[in-house]
Amino acid sequence: MILIIAAMESEVKELRRNFKEKNLYNNRKYYQGSINDKEVIVLITGVGKVNAGLHLAAILMKENISKIINVGFGGAKGDFQIGEAVLIKKATYGDVDVTAFSEYELGQLPKLPHYFNSDPVMFRNFKEIITKEGLLYTQDKFVLKSEENDCLFDMEGAGFYQVAHLFKKPIVAIKVVSDLIGQKGQLENYQNFEKNSSYLIKEIIEKVI
């Protein structure tokens, strides 16, 4: 079973439109169906790293998931365009700092990798369709400025990668650029993009699965 996981309904509402609703726990739902004759589960976690990790762990304990595809919108800085699909090569945290202990890098949690890498087989296969690639920074804030460059930003991705790493499940992420960090009107650009762009993710998934 392929798991497609996203933070927000607006990112996957077109993708899951005809899927069957199932109960994960309490009132948390997930959706099951097929894409290109392959069985697929779509899970919407809610925004933020805790929501990301909690709900991914819950579905991995409930269903037999073979691989994970994280899809969603992300801010970008560098040579990117709004609406562009970007294949994530590796993810890390943008708001973790335990460098007071000299054995850790900025963005690294103790006893975990500095970077969580995308599954090499999935990455190679998807790269035939999505040629742009990038590094993903995850933190619990909407990023309006950053010293980093040539990268993307979200609020869940590295949390998904961390849980996939702990459960030993292959994962890759595809981010559609929703806003450009530091650009005038960035917040308004993001809000307009979110309202009108879930069809982009549906089109991408139908190509890569």
Give the CATH number for residue 118.
Answer: 3.40.50.1580
Is the model's pLDDT at 200 over the cut of 90? yes
What is the amino acid identity at position 143?
V
The rounded distance, in Å, linking the Cα atoms of 69 and 3 is 6
Per-residue pLDDT tens for 2-49? 999 999 999 999 999 999 999 999 989 999 999 999 999 999 999 999
Q: How far apart are CA 208 and CA 205, in angstroms?
A: 5
What does the DSSP 8-state code read for residue 10?
Answer: H
Q: What is the pTM of this model?
A: 0.95
Instruction: Write out the residue range of the structural domain in which residue 129 sits.
Output: 2-208
Q: What percent of the chain has pLDDT over 90?
A: 93
Per the structure, how many domains does the chain have? 1
Gap between the Cα atoms of 137 and 156, Å rounded: 9
Residues with Cβ within 8 Å of 14's Cβ and at least 6 positions away in sequence, in order, are 198, 199, 201, 202
The DSSP secondary structure of 132-168, one letter per residue, reads -EEEEEE-SS--S--S--SEEEESSHHHHHHHHHHHT
The residue type found at 73 is F
Local structure of 1: helix, strand or coil: coil
Cα 5 to Cα 7: distance, rounded to the nearest angstrom: 7
**pLDDT band (50, 70, 90) for residue 174:** very high
Strand partners, 151: 77, 135
pLDDT in tens, 125-166: 999 999 999 999 999 999 999 988 899 999 999 999 999 999
Q: Which of 87-96, 124-133, 152-161, 182-191 has the lowest mean pLDDT?
A: 182-191
Q: Give the model's pLDDT for residue 78.
A: 95
